[in-house]
Structure 1
Amino acid sequence: MGYKVFRTMALACAVALAGVATAADNDPPVPSAADFGERPMLKDPILSPDGAMVAAEAKRGDKDVVALVDLDPTKANSTRTIPIPGDFSVQWVRWAGSDKVLVSLLGTSKIYDIEVPITRLITIDVHSGVAAYIGLKSQGLVGDDVLYVDPAGAFLLLSTQPSIFDLPAVYRIDLATLKSEKVVKAQDGVWSWYADDKGVVRTGIAGEGKKWWVVYRERADQEFTRTKRREYDEDDVGVDKFLPIGGSDTGYAMAAGKSGRFGLYKYDFRADAIGEQVYENPEVDIDDFDVGKDGHLSAVYFTNDKPEIEWFDPELKKLQARLDRALPGHANRVISRSADNMRLLILSASADDPGTVYFYDRKTNNMSPFAALYQKLGGKRLAPMEPVRYKARDGLEIRGYLTLPPGRGDKNLPLVVMPHGGPFVRDSWGYDAWVQYLASRGYAVLQPNYRGSTGFGKAFVDKGIGQFGRGMQDDVDDGVKWLATRGTVDAKRVCIMGASYGGYAAMLAAVRNPEIYRCAISFAGLSDVSAQLRYDRKSFAASRYYRNWRDKVRGDKDFELDTISPLKMAERMTVPILIAHGTKDRTVPVSQSQKLHDALVKLKRPHEFVLYKDEAHGFSDPAHATDFLNRVGAFLDKNNPADGKPRGS
């Protein structure tokens, strides 16, 4: 099949079967809140090594299941769903050979009456559908740290603790009998073990107090030797991820180079030293990398304005170019491959197309749709998202994304600015249900990657040190002013909305800048910075960039955190605010929103408050996600109507 046929077929699949609204749709329907509240039909589909089946996370009602799909079109009942035992949710799914699927499960347990998260591992026989537990009879909190899976599915290597009081050892689990054998005993201080691509545990990372070191061996029949102990450096970026290569003392490591950006390097395990640079992007950090069965680098993944792949496999590099020509305006990513690289799953998605997974057979050169991820959105109107850049008040360039409401032009629009959570993460280009819901109701949406956002190198993260609720907040405000100055938005019709840190930014804006924002919306936001630091310091950590986070949030040790805590300034909150939180949020406790609500009730300040039963740091129940969006829509209609007159007119 030639290129023209490939292109025609791919485009026909994308339009006819993915159900995305196109230029031919003169007036496509506007999605409802329920459409945007929908969960994806499946998540993270992955091909079996022989390319005959697909396994994925899915939902049946409100329960997590594993979906198994036989790709043979002649077979009846080709799709099955396997229920998950107990009160667990699915973390990830992967294959162990072509006859078994491994599933990581997340649940909770209690230690001294304190509820804590635990992970466990099961295997599913794809022929019988029978699920079985993998692990020790007695086990610590982490039970899904799989270091290696035999390509034939005969065994796996699992790093786990016999109890919460033990350091992890490594066990070889026979996947036929499920019997375990300890192959690496626990070592002093070692919490993280790594195996090479041949299934030999080669190295471990150890730490105690302010000291850290590496243990290493060349072969399975050797004892581990330890490198010299070193102190954690406050500003030491170090290695984010590394992979030993079988039969060699070298491997690959993701680490920050002289530029401060994370790139890919050779790593000498015997010398415990970073070697030559393999790849570094000139603008952003790399996110991940893949190595083929031969130990050679296959691909590097990174996110500039949009998600991208740098292929080192010549054939897949050519395929990527063909995909991008056939499906323009989309991020087209190979998300899974058969062992021989002849069968592929490809996800094609964009901001205004929530995504279709395609199955591509390289032998027949045939590509066909496998699944549209959000079926309720098929044929309905969504809005494109554009990368933007603007200058903050101190001259720092801020990247972000701007979504304009369809059919409303690009002048004098009402705006909702939506800072991301974290704060030490980043927003990226792609489908976002909240953004699309707001755009569907007539609002422009700005998503700024304020200073401290990760992915743009250490120097940009450094700019966020001590700027929690200060410079970070200024960057958000400056984005509003930039859009108003160029006439895109009406400066008198602006609200702010966010979740987690974004929810905090919305709360703080309602106190700090009532002259900018007409209203604020917070989901799972924090109102008391000191209390959150006491609860969980890791929630503020950019751990990829700093081994020891300490007081990066506070900045100056004498800085008073109450001055950036909305709860402590509730009497100044005159802007209407909608506050929402999940009752089982373990990242930001529900008390962070409850206490602000209580304070505002006492002060008789205008606000709305809602708790979502059993939700955590996000929505898992589509009914709750839909209810929240409906509340957001009604709140905006009341306080910043998209078609209303500007305030003060």
Structure 2
Amino acid sequence: MMRRLIAAGSVALLAGATGASADPIPAEDFSKAPSVSSVSMSLEGDMLVGVIADPTQDGDMRAAAYWDLTGNIDPSKPLLPSNVTPTSGKTLFYGATALKDKKSLWFTVQPYIGALYGCGEGRDTGATKKYLQKVYMGNEKIKKIDDLPDGRAEIGANKDTLRCFELVGETNIESLLPLDPTKIVISRASTKNGTSFFEHDLANSREKFLFKASDTESVLISNRDGSQIALTKLEYEDGAWRQYFSLIDQNSGEMTTEAPLTTEIANRYTMEVDGRQNGTGKYYIVTDKFSDKSAVYLYDPSTDSFSDQPLVAHPEYNVSGLVYSHRPQDFNEILGFSYAGPVSSTYWIDPDFRAIQDGLESAFKDKYVSIVDYNNDLSRVLFQVQAADMPPAWYLLLDKTKVVVIGSLRPWIDQKSLGKGEFVHYPARDGMSIPGFVTFPAGWKDGDKAKGAIIVPHGGPWARDSGGWDDSGWTQYFASRGYIVLQPQYRGSDGWGRELWLAGDGEWGQKMQDDKDDGAAWLVSQGYVDADKIAIHGYSYGGFAAIAASVRPNSPYRCAIAGAGVSNLAKLGN
């Protein structure tokens, strides 16, 4: 099996390389509409849906695509869509989710010019130009895509509320309710009217109102039956914002506030209810209250206590949450856990999934492989492959042995023009270890020296970069032109643990800036670039960093480029 997987993977990888020389990549190659995106597979494994470049038009128009998985599939060639629904008018598809019962959900944006009537940022009267989100339901083979019925009208929502939702609201899938053949749970949220939850029957498009959360509340529902199992609420008391958690008590069946879970927002602890354990009434809690990196603990509402040790932890990275089975035979059992490594990754505990992951990683060496969707018997597994030098591509694993190409985000980019990426740590001047992502110039060999280096700090600053494909396009745009790029995860970056995050407090333009300069010095020390050929470039907070770099004494940069940079901290606030 593994030999066949490796062979198929090698063929698929070769399909992306189209040229023999490494030429600079045009900016348009990064900015035009993706060839394929948002690919999703139904629970039954009988269909895929996704958004593709509209084959009937040039430019940025996109179409809805459907792939039939029920017939014979030839793994020797890419699987083409069975049906394509072009964009209608000015509606732009941007997302798709395969459901079940041969249905799919389609997310679109549409241009709007008009009054907002107090429903969002902009004038109450007169004309404001913006985009509206609209969600459609696709039937079998997406031969027809209809408006998604809005259940709020049936529970008495007035026309102003419905209009506000249309202007500033969004619709999301909360649960596919895998054990029910036709029902799902969706939510409709707006900044003005909170979030309403509905049970939607795919068989007849009828909706049943379940409950509502205010704009300071969030709800966790059971994937078994759609019932509410946890409530999180923000409240301002005694001069501080606090986050309160209410859970279902196993004995009484009532929702009770759990004091041990309460957090003060200013302390910035992670505290998230991830799920509920089968049978025991205990909850899975993701928190970094007890360690530098977040981990998963069991919490017992009947005793108000956490487990002594984490149920799941990673030695180097934050654990993001657990991965639960949607299969009837092991429903809600833990299959693995996700963690925030160089890219968001999953460690599979289940032996079947572990074997599939290992096989795919052997087939796609030095790439990031992630399982996206699967059916009950694992005869159909949708997975994605990407890397710093490979735009995301989607594949189908058939019967655990054959790999079928679905499509790539940007197949027109010659992979020979893309630079390899590497996750590194370098020392700051005070000894703190700083993570970073290096993108080497295309065709880089050991001993080479780049024509120049560009330091690219991320925005936020409470954010982080990822080691996979850079959707902004900047890193590879520079790398294809002979530059080496460093994306420093300077102190103040979120997602690498509390120590690095909190170390940035009060350090704008100071130690946070030192980390970027020390990254530039590290590139020089490695022999990657000459000290007089370094620039800095960033957006938002990264723009501030570029501005700050231009006025600091002994700056290592010959050029600083700020995009949408914060230049007046007094206006930003404390």
Q: TM-score, normalised by structure 2?
A: 0.81
In structure 2, do the counterparts of structure 1 residues 86 and 240 end up closer, same or farther at CA, with 3 Å as the change threshold?
Answer: farther
Correspondent of 2:545 among 505, 509, 517: 505
Q: Which residue number in structure 1 is paired with residue 347 of structure 2? A: 310
Is contact 2:248-2:256 (8 Å) kept? yes
Report deviation, 1:483: 1.9
Q: Which residue number in structure 1 is paired with residue 184 of structure 2? A: 156
Q: Which residue number in structure 2 is paired with residue 280 of structure 1? A: 313
Is contact 2:41-2:47 (8 Å) kept? yes
Report deviation, 1:224: 3.7
User: How many Å separate the matches in 2 of 1:346 and 1:97?
Assistant: 19
In structure 2, do the counterparts of structure 1 residues 464 and 85 end up closer, same or farther at CA, with 3 Å as the change threshold?
Answer: farther
Is contact 1:43-1:57 (8 Å) kept? yes
Correspondent of 1:179 among 198, 206, 217: 206
Once the two structures are superposed, what CA deviation does each residue of 1:309-338 show, in whole Å capped at 9, x if it has no partner?
210110111121122222211111112222
Secondary structure of 1:115's counterpart equals: coil
The answer to whether the aligner puts 1:244 opposite 2:285 as a matched pair is no
RMSD: 3.3
Report deviation, 1:344: 0.9
Report deviation, 1:113: 7.6
In structure 2, do the counterparts of structure 1 residues 95 and 33 end up closer, same or farther at CA, with 3 Å as the change threshold?
Answer: closer
In structure 2, do the counterparts of structure 1 residues 123 and 113 end up closer, same or farther at CA, with 3 Å as the change threshold?
Answer: closer
User: How many percent of aligned residue pairs carry the same amino acid?
Assistant: 25
Once the two structures are superposed, what CA deviation does each residue of 1:57-114 show, in whole Å capped at 9, x if it has no partner?
3444434543322234679961313547876663x43233141112345678825385
User: How many Å separate the matches in 2 of 1:166 and 1:380?
Assistant: 50
Once the two structures are superposed, what CA deviation does each residue of 1:519-566 show, in whole Å capped at 9, x if it has no partner?
222233222233344xxxxxxxxxxxxxxxxxxxx4xxxxxxxxxxxx
Bigger Cα displacement from structure 2, 280-289 vs 241-250: 241-250
Secondary structure of 1:475's counterpart equals: helix
Correspondent of 2:267 among 219, 235, 241: 235
Once the two structures are superposed, what CA deviation does each residue of 1:456-514 show, in whole Å capped at 9, x if it has no partner?
21111111111123211111011112222343211111111112221221122223357
Q: Which residue number in structure 2 is paired with residue 193 of structure 1? A: 219
User: How many Å separate the matches in 1 of 2:408 and 2:188?
Assistant: 37
Give the letter aligned to residue 28 of structure 2: A
Give the letter aligned to residue 70 of structure 1: D
In structure 2, do the counterparts of structure 1 residues 238 and 438 end up closer, same or farther at CA, with 3 Å as the change threshold?
Answer: closer
Q: Which residue number in structure 2 is paired with residue 519 of structure 1? A: 559
Q: Which residue number in structure 1 is paired with residue 247 of structure 2? A: 216
Q: Which residue number in structure 2 is paired with residue 264 of structure 1? A: 296
Q: Which residue number in structure 2 is paired with residue 483 of structure 1? A: 523
In structure 2, do the counterparts of structure 1 residues 212 and 376 end up closer, same or farther at CA, with 3 Å as the change threshold?
Answer: closer
In structure 2, do the counterparts of structure 1 residues 87 and 325 end up closer, same or farther at CA, with 3 Å as the change threshold?
Answer: closer
User: How many Å separate the matches in 2 of 1:333 and 1:76?
Assistant: 22
Structure-to-structure mapping, 1:59-138, within 5 angstroms: 59-60=53-54, 61-71=59-69, 72=71, 78-81=82-85, 83=87, 90=94, 92-105=95-108, 110-112=116-118, 114-115=120-121, 121-127=135-141, 128-135=143-150, 136-137=152-153, 138=161
In structure 2, do the counterparts of structure 1 residues 63 and 469 end up closer, same or farther at CA, with 3 Å as the change threshold?
Answer: farther
Q: Which residue number in structure 2 is paired with residue 47 of structure 1? A: 41
Q: Which residue number in structure 1 is paired with residue 469 of structure 2? A: 431
Bigger Cα displacement from structure 2, 514-523 vs 430-439: 514-523
User: How many Å separate the matches in 1 of 2:263 and 2:364?
Assistant: 50
User: How many Å separate the matches in 2 of 1:76 and 1:261?
Assistant: 43
Structure 1, unmatched stretches of 5+, are 534-553, 555-649
In structure 2, do the counterparts of structure 1 residues 312 and 67 end up closer, same or farther at CA, with 3 Å as the change threshold?
Answer: same
Q: Which residue number in structure 2 is paired with residue 607 of structure 1? A: none
User: How many Å separate the matches in 2 of 1:167 and 1:42?
Assistant: 33
In structure 2, do the counterparts of structure 1 residues 531 and 58 end up closer, same or farther at CA, with 3 Å as the change threshold?
Answer: farther
User: How many Å separate the matches in 1 of 2:319 and 2:402?
Assistant: 31
Is contact 2:136-2:147 (8 Å) kept? yes
Report deviation, 1:297: 1.0
Q: Which residue number in structure 2 is paired with residue 537 of structure 1? A: none
In structure 2, do the counterparts of structure 1 residues 273 and 87 end up closer, same or farther at CA, with 3 Å as the change threshold?
Answer: farther
Q: Which residue number in structure 2 is paired with residue 301 of structure 1? A: 338
Give the paired residue count.
524
Give the letter aligned to residue 10 of structure 1: G
Q: Which residue number in structure 1 is paired with residue 16 of structure 2? A: 18
Structure 2, unmatched stretches of 5+, are 74-78, 123-130, 154-160
Once the two structures are superposed, what CA deviation does each residue of 1:376-432 show, in whole Å capped at 9, x if it has no partner?
114542111122221111111111122222356533641111111221111221233
Q: Which residue number in structure 1 is paired with residue 8 of structure 2? A: 9
Q: TM-score, normalised by structure 1?
A: 0.73
Once the two structures are superposed, what CA deviation does each residue of 1:589-642 show, in whole Å capped at 9, x if it has no partner?
xxxxxxxxxxxxxxxxxxxxxxxxxxxxxxxxxxxxxxxxxxxxxxxxxxxxxx
Q: Which residue number in structure 2 is paired with residue 550 of structure 1? A: none
Give the letter aligned to residue 430 of structure 1: G
Is contact 1:499-1:522 (8 Å) kept? yes
Correspondent of 1:376 among 412, 429, 438: 412
Q: Which residue number in structure 2 is paired with residue 385 of structure 1? A: 421
Is contact 1:100-1:153 (8 Å) kept? no
Give the letter aligned to residue 99 of structure 1: K
Q: Which residue number in structure 2 is paired with residue 329 of structure 1? A: 366
User: How many Å separate the matches in 2 of 1:347 and 1:470?
Assistant: 40
Report deviation, 1:283: 1.1
